[in-house]
């Protein structure tokens, strides 16, 4: 998975276009962390998914989950 800063101050994620992988986010990593599906659909091209998430505040955590 690749991560870069977008022009609008957001974050751009890229990962191989493999069925079943989705991006999730959480506002913190406390013991009761709750991961939420990022509902914006990624753009798929040339075997790669790309998704840009806008600025989300002071902190945010992301993970790619295969389900």
pLDDT at 5: 77
Q: What is the pTM of this model?
A: 0.80
pLDDT surpasses 70 at 43: yes
pLDDT at 58: 66
Query: Distances in Å between the alpha carbon of 14 and those of 25, 30, 31, 52, 56?
Result: 15, 26, 28, 9, 18
Q: Provide the domain limits for residue 33.
A: 2-66
Listed in sequence order, the residues at least 6 apart from 34 whose beta carbon sits closer than 8 Å to its beta carbon are 26
Alpha carbons within 13 angstroms on the beta-carbon side of residue 65 total 11
Instruction: Name which residue leads in pLDDT, 12 or 55.
Output: 12
Alpha carbons within 13 angstroms on the beta-carbon side of residue 50 total 11
Number of domains the chain contains: 1
């Amino acid at each position: 998975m690749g991560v870069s800063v977008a022009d609008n101050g957001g974050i751009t994620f890229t990962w191989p276009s493999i069925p079943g992988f989705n991006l999730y986010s959480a506002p913190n990593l406390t013991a009761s962390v709750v991961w939420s599906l990022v509902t914006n659909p990624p753009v798929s091209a040339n075997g790669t998914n790309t998704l840009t998430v806008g600025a989300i505040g002071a902190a945010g955590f992301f993970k790619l989950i295969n389900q």
